[in-house]
Amino acid sequence: MLINEGFKIEYGRGITRNLFNAFQGSLVITLPEIWDALETSFSEKPEQILFVETLEIDELEKLSEDNRNISTIFGLGGGRVADVAKFLHWKNRATLFQIPTIVSVDAFFTHEIAIRDNGVVKYIGDAIPELIYVDYDIIQKAPVKLNRSGLGDILSCHTGLFDWQLADRQGEKPEWNEQLAIRTRKVLNDVTANAAEIQKVSEKGIKMMTEALNWIGNQCYVQKHPRFEEGSEHHFVYNLEYVTGKHFIHGQAVCLGCFIMSLLQENEPEKVLRAVRETGIYITPESLGVSWDEIRDTFLTLNAFVRKEKLPYTILYEKDMTENFLKKIKMALAKSY
Ligand SMILES: [Zn+2]
């Protein structure tokens, strides 16, 4: 098993059922569609519910003013809910309990809060939940596609580590840390060895992913950088969003980025593709809701994109994304799906 470091997590079935009764003056932060789907999972209606609308900083500041007197906050949902709950907790020093409804992103396990400033992502603050409740009853109600996609932010360690080592050879900071790399690979291997469990969204699969995301989130905080878990595969996704103006299931898009970049890095692409397929994640453009033309535009502008955005040093500073390389990707995906 993994070494458990990071936030405190409680696992079980029905562990959140009576939770809202236990706290007076609490506020549940969620989304209307999540509350509609889960209302009957709780024995009592919470005193106050707040539906998340935006992550824009001005609106969040107003929200925290309006909720000055709240002493306990529950975040019930996915990434956006997690960040709003973290923000109100941090601003108002309220006790925070997180109840993820999917295991698809790392937002529950990171200290920093992702807000938007005029649409641009910014990371601020420091949030530490009292406890994260991983209630299998709740998580297994979510679409399997969302839960499986949690693999993305774990698999990104494979390409992220490679990019970080390249950067280190160029003399870039932060300095390569072999011990951290060994531990990261161990976490990644434990997860991919259990791909079938994640595919089934079994209790074991949910726990494996949660523990890995919690470990990664904690290491980002301890090491003060995310280079061991984020590199060119994420930069591909940022450019895909920029070029298409579309939003994606983050982990699914990152899995496509991982495969493409592992091939560009000549870094065991077949191993990456196998892990993605065994987890039941589809990474063809159709399954992401984009055309091959949009993928092509993303490819051909990616080298310029990372330079323009001054993104950290990766394989994309050493190798160009060409038409020929696109053909290679097309062939590999056609063979596998
Ligand atoms: Zn990510």
pLDDT per residue as tens digits for the range 41-76: 999 999 899 999 999 999 999 999 999 999 999 999
Q: What distance in angstroms lies between residue 81's CA and the mean position of ligand 1's atoms?
A: 16
Give me the pLDDT at residue 304, please. 98
**At 27, which helix (H) or strand (E)?**
strand 26-30
Q: What distance in angstroms lies between residue 200's CA and the mean position of ligand 1's atoms?
A: 22
Are residues 312 and 228 in contact, defined by beta-carbon separation less than 8 angstroms?
no
Give, as one character, the DSSP assignment of residue 56. B
Give me the pLDDT at residue 119, please. 82
Q: What distance in angstroms lies between residue 139's CA and the mean position of ligand 1's atoms?
A: 20
Q: Tell me the pairing of strands 26-30 and 48-51.
A: parallel
Q: What distance in angstroms lies between residue 71's CA and the mean position of ligand 1's atoms?
A: 31
Q: What distance in angstroms lies between residue 10's CA and the mean position of ligand 1's atoms?
A: 24
**Average pLDDT score over residue span 91-114:** 94
Q: What distance in angstroms lies between residue 148's CA and the mean position of ligand 1's atoms?
A: 14
Q: What is the pLDDT of residues 273-320, one digit of tens each?
A: 999 999 999 999 999 999 999 999 999 999 999 999 999 999 999 999
d(CA 109, CA 130): 12
Nearest to residue 323, comparing CAs of 300, 298, 294, 290? 300
Q: What distance in angstroms lies between residue 156's CA and the mean position of ligand 1's atoms?
A: 8
Q: Which CATH number applies to 144-336?
A: 1.20.1090.10
Q: What distance in angstroms lies between residue 250's CA and the mean position of ligand 1's atoms?
A: 7
What are the two backbone dihedrals, phi and then psi, of residue 22, each rounded to the nearest 5 degrees? Answer: -75, -15
Q: What is the pLDDT of residues 119-171, one digit of tens each?
A: 888 999 999 999 999 999 999 999 999 999 999 999 999 999 999 999 999 99
Confidence check: pLDDT of 2 > 50:
no
Q: What distance in angstroms lies between residue 291's CA and the mean position of ligand 1's atoms?
A: 22
Give the model's confidence band at 26: pLDDT under 50 very low, under 70 low, under 90 confident, else very high.
very high
Confidence check: pLDDT of 87 > 80:
yes
Q: In the structure encoding, which two tokens stand for residue 188, read together?
A: 């990644």
In this structure, which residues have their CB less than 5 angstroms from ion ligand 1? 153
Q: For all residues of the chain together, what is the average pLDDT? A: 95
With 0-12 CB in 10 A as exposed, 13-18 as middle and 19+ as buried, what is 3?
exposed
The sign of the torsion formed by the CA atoms of 311, 262, 158, 202 equals positive
Q: What distance in angstroms lies between residue 298's CA and the mean position of ligand 1's atoms?
A: 18
Q: What distance in angstroms lies between residue 153's CA and the mean position of ligand 1's atoms?
A: 5
Q: Give start and end residues of each alpha helix (H) in the chain.
A: 32-38, 57-66, 79-92, 136-139, 144-148, 152-169, 178-192, 195-200, 203-223, 232-244, 250-265, 269-278, 285-288, 292-308, 323-336
d(CA 278, CA 274): 6
Q: What distance in angstroms lies between residue 202's CA and the mean position of ligand 1's atoms?
A: 23
Q: What distance in angstroms lies between residue 46's CA and the mean position of ligand 1's atoms?
A: 31
What are the two backbone dihedrals, phi and then psi, of residue 12, each rounded to the nearest 5 degrees? Answer: 165, 180
Q: What distance in angstroms lies between residue 24's CA and the mean position of ligand 1's atoms?
A: 35
Give me the pLDDT at residue 132, please. 98
HSE on the CB side for 307, CA within 13 Å?
9
Give me the pLDDT at residue 4, please. 53
The type of residue at 201 is: V
d(CA 27, CA 229): 33
Q: What is the pLDDT of residues 225-248, one digit of tens each?
A: 999 999 999 999 999 999 999 989
Q: What is the pLDDT of residues 192-201, one digit of tens each?
A: 999 999 999 9
Q: What distance in angstroms lies between residue 23's CA and the mean position of ligand 1's atoms?
A: 33
Are residues 258 and 272 in contact, defined by beta-carbon separation less than 8 angstroms?
yes
Are residues 11 and 134 in contact, defined by beta-carbon separation less than 8 angstroms?
yes
Q: What distance in angstroms lies between residue 238's CA and the mean position of ligand 1's atoms?
A: 10
According to DSSP, the residues that pair with 135 across neighbouring strands are 12
Q: What distance in angstroms lies between residue 233's CA and the mean position of ligand 1's atoms?
A: 9
Q: In the structure encoding, which two tokens stand for residue 324, read together?
A: 């020929």
The type of residue at 207 is: K
Angle, alpha carbons 75-77-36 (nearest 5°): 110
Confidence check: pLDDT of 6 > 60:
yes
Q: What distance in angstroms lies between residue 105's CA and the mean position of ligand 1's atoms?
A: 7
Q: What distance in angstroms lies between residue 228's CA and the mean position of ligand 1's atoms?
A: 12
Are residues 42 and 19 in contact, defined by beta-carbon separation less than 8 angstroms?
yes
Q: What distance in angstroms lies between residue 134's CA and the mean position of ligand 1's atoms?
A: 20
Give the model's confidence band at 337: pLDDT under 50 very low, under 70 low, under 90 confident, else very high.
confident
Thinking of the domain 9-139, which architecture would CATH place it in?
3-Layer(aba) Sandwich (3.40)
Q: What distance in angstroms lies between residue 175's CA and the mean position of ligand 1's atoms?
A: 22
Q: Would you list the domain boundaries of the chain?
A: 9-139, 144-336
Q: What distance in angstroms lies between residue 158's CA and the mean position of ligand 1's atoms?
A: 13
Q: What distance in angstroms lies between residue 85's CA and the mean position of ligand 1's atoms?
A: 19
